[in-house]
Amino acid sequence: MESSDHLTQMWRDLYVMLGTSSAALIGLLFVVTSLHLSEVIRNPVFRVRAYNGTLYLLMLLVEAELVLVPQPVHLLGAELSAINFAGLWLPLSNAYRYFYKNTDTGRRGGAMIYRPITYAVGYMLGLAGGIALIERSDWGMYLITASYTILLIAVVLGAWAIMLGIGQKEKQKKARRPLLTGISRGI
């Protein structure tokens, strides 16, 4: 039975780096969320983005672990296919929720269609890569890596959007404080 030892050796350093990056980003997302917990709790879009970002990063971390575990290539392909198929559910359910079922919340929260499309494309590439590995195709890992990169970039940009949103809310609060202070003084 063909082992992924050769495959792992070719991709090992990259997936050690990607897995470490995913784990570090999970920690940073927890820190940022906990520092601004009241803002994240009050804003349903921030809450959903932070939760989904954590799920996406956990899936990426598991993918990196699976690539690094010595196992038959077709089994690795099946595992990666399953994770990417399950991951595809998140952006599709969010797109349904915010663009069809509850459009008011989506508009207020700044939901944009490119976000779920980006995640869906990333997971479809991962699914195709997993299927290619099941068939023992050499280019399967290239698709898995492209998927991983797209998803990691999308999560980072989503986290950045959360931070910008929180920053805008804090800026609005600070801009209102002098006005309220002046009114309370009778100015």
pLDDT confidence of residue 2: 47
pTM: 0.80
pLDDT confidence of residue 85: 96
pLDDT confidence of residue 43: 78
pLDDT confidence of residue 125: 97
Q: Kind and range of the H or E element at 51?
A: helix 44-68
pLDDT confidence of residue 100: 67
d(CA 141, CA 77): 9
114 contacts 157 by C-beta, under 8 angstroms? no
Any long-range contacts for 139-142 (C-beta under 8 Å, 24+ apart)? 140/77, 141/7, 141/10, 141/11, 141/67
pLDDT confidence of residue 185: 57
Task: Give, for all 187 residues of the chain, the pLDDT tens digit.
Answer: 445 567 667 899 999 999 999 999 999 888 888 887 877 778 777 788 888 899 999 999 999 999 999 999 999 999 999 999 999 998 888 877 766 666 565 455 555 677 888 999 999 999 999 999 999 888 999 999 999 999 999 999 988 887 887 777 666 767 766 655 555 555 5
Residue 164's CB is within 10 A of a number of other CB atoms, namely 10
Cα four-point dihedral sign 45, 50, 53, 58: negative
pLDDT confidence of residue 138: 81
